[in-house]
Every structure is written in structure tokens, then in C-alpha cells.
Amino acid sequence: AGGPWEECFEAAVQLALRAGQIIRKALSEEKRVSTKTSAADLVTETDHVVEALILQELQTRFPSHRFIAEEAAAAGAKCVLTPSPTWIVDPIDGTCNFVHRFPTVAVSIGFAVNQELEFGVIYHCTEERLYTGRRGQGAFCNGQRLRVSGETDLSKALVLTEIGPRRDPATLKLFLSNMERLLHAGAHGVRVIGSSTLALCHLAAGTADAYYQFGLHCWDLAAATVIIREAGGIVMDTSGGPLDLMSCRVVAAGTREMAVLIAQALQTINYGRDDER
Ligand code: IPD
């Protein structure tokens, strides 16, 4: 193992574990909640505390690197992926779960160089599961190798999705109609667990067969994409084309056949782009 980004990977693991400890402790305490882009897009003091911890530490250790992070972006920082080594951070994925003490909450740290994802670290804070993937080196959960499901038949699939932040009638209609299309096609089930990154980790682990979403962000996707690819899975655009990290939409599956079937069934919900805000 090892490789040129070993020190960065080790730093990501250590920070995800430290952040997870803070989040676990804060989960049971009172929280001050604010809203961002919609009444369902939440942020707490802990999101800010954890993001500051991660960014300060990484900026000190790797001063020439660049950073994209959820709460910095919410405060107006631009999301641009340049060829420079770039960290892509979601301090708490599943903030709504966190607010309600629903124990499905993660820290996600992705790392890209030359616009290519090198590694991803996702820590399930309450179940203390550390998911990692490194380009060319496989994907693991607490040291156990991950492998996606080989299912190709939509009528035998367990599909995961997330609602996304918007609640206007037109968006909700499209969201529900997409779910309906998959259920009509015979999917065994469609689940919404409240964390894009942990849903994507289920896909990597083979405990779900497909995932799709409109309205997620590059910090929900970066780390998970490496983990899924290293577990043998497919991550693509909802059009069926290659993944675009900044496009706010994704289809992922254990097999290309399954990903294409899902992509074909979906109607597009246009959320704009992370790099055009
Ligand atoms: C969000 C959650 C949510 C999903 C959104 C994500 P956050 O992340 O994963 O379930 O619907 O698309 O942005 O705001 O909790 O980090």
C-alpha cells in the first residue's frame, strides 16, 4: 500500500474519527438549528465546529492544497475543482437526522488531484464504521473489503435515494413520480435514510443495489464515488453519461446494466450546478 498521498489519507482518517467523536457527543445535546437554502436545509453549530476543525488542521498541514467544504460554500465560497490537490469536505452529512437524533450521520472527506478522485473517507459516527476507498487499492469498512452487489435486474433491486432540499410542488411531484416509476418497474423497495453518503456506502457494501438523487452536492459525492468504484461499482450521470461531480445529480449501482436502467427511468430535476453558484 502507501502511494504518494499516504500522509493525506492518514490525516483524513484521523480527522474523520475525531470529528465523529464530537458529533456522537453532540447528538444527544440541545442544538441551535438554522436554515440555509430552504426550510428543510439545516445547519447546526456542530456542522461549523467540525468543519473548522477539519479545515484548520488540513490547511496547517497542507498549506498549498485547496478546499471545498459544505459550510464554507453556504457562506459564499466558490466550488471549483482545479488540478491542484483539493479536499472536498462534508462535516455532517445527515444534518436533519442529527437534529432529530436519528442515528444515521456521517463525516465525509474526499481528495482529488488533477481533477481525479484519489481517496475517500466516510465515517458513520454512531455505528463507528469507517469506510475508505483509495484509487487502485480497494474499498474497506473497518478493514473488511467491500464488494458491490452483482444485481442487473431492476425488478430484484433495493434502491436508495434522498429527497434533496427543495419542497416546492413541482420538485416534489417529480421526486415522487421518479419513485413511482421505479416501483412500477418492480423494484423490491425504495428507501430514504437521510444521508446521501451513508446510502452510497450501502451501495458500496452490496447491501443495496442502486442509488440515485437530484439535488446533492459535490461534498456528498466525492468520497463515496471512490469507495463505490473501488468496490467494483458504477457511478454515472443521470443522463447515462459520465459522472460530473458538480452537476448535483447521480446514479450509482453495482452493475452498469442496473445504472442504465435507473437512468432511463428517471425524469430530470434541475438543481443547477455547484460550480455556478
Ligand atoms: C444532505 C443529506 C440529505 C440529502 C441532501 C444532502 P447534509 O447532506 O445527505 O439526505 O438529501 O442532498 O445534501 O446537508 O446533511 O450534509
137: its cell numbers: 487499492
| Alpha carbon distance 205, 254 (integer Å) | 9
Tell me whether strands 158-161 and 33-35 are parallel, antiparallel or unpaired.
Answer: unpaired
Residue 17 has pLDDT above 80, yes or no: yes
Which of 47, 220, 245 is the best mutation target for the ligand 1 pocket, counting ligand atoms within 8 Å of the beta carbon and taking the most? Answer: 220
Which of 196, 200, 202 is the best mutation target for the ligand 1 pocket, counting ligand atoms within 8 Å of the beta carbon and taking the most? Answer: 196
CA distances 132 to 52, 93, 199, Å, are: 22, 16, 14
* Distance from residue 95's CA to the centre of ligand 1 (Å): 7
Which of these, 92, 144, 149, 86, lies nearest to 120 by C-alpha position? 86
Average pLDDT of the chain, as a whole number: 97
Which residue lies with its CA nearest to atom 7 of ligand 1? Answer: 93
What are 88-144's pLDDT values in tens digits? 999 999 999 999 999 999 999 999 999 999 999 999 999 999 999 999 999 999 999
Which of 93, 166, 193, 221 is the best mutation target for the ligand 1 pocket, counting ligand atoms within 8 Å of the beta carbon and taking the most? Answer: 93
* Distance from residue 161's CA to the centre of ligand 1 (Å): 11
Ligand 1 lined by 20 (C-beta under 6 Å): no
Q: Which residues are catalytic?
A: 70, 90, 92-93, 95, 220
What are 34-56's pLDDT values in tens digits? 999 999 999 999 999 999 999 99
| Alpha carbon distance 45, 244 (integer Å) | 31
* Distance from residue 102's CA to the centre of ligand 1 (Å): 14
Which residue lies with its CA nearest to atom 11 of ligand 1? Answer: 164
Ligand 1 lined by 220 (C-beta under 6 Å): yes
Ligand 1 lined by 93 (C-beta under 6 Å): yes
The ipTM (two decimal places) reads 0.91
How much is the pLDDT for 139?
98
Do you know the residue count of the chain?
277
Q: ∠ at Cα 83 (11, 66), nearest 5°?
A: 45
Q: Which domains does the chain have, with CATH numbers?
A: 6-145 (3.30.540.10), 154-276 (3.40.190.80)
Average pLDDT of 197-226?
98
Radius of gyration of the chain (CA): 17
Residue 1 has pLDDT above 80, yes or no: no
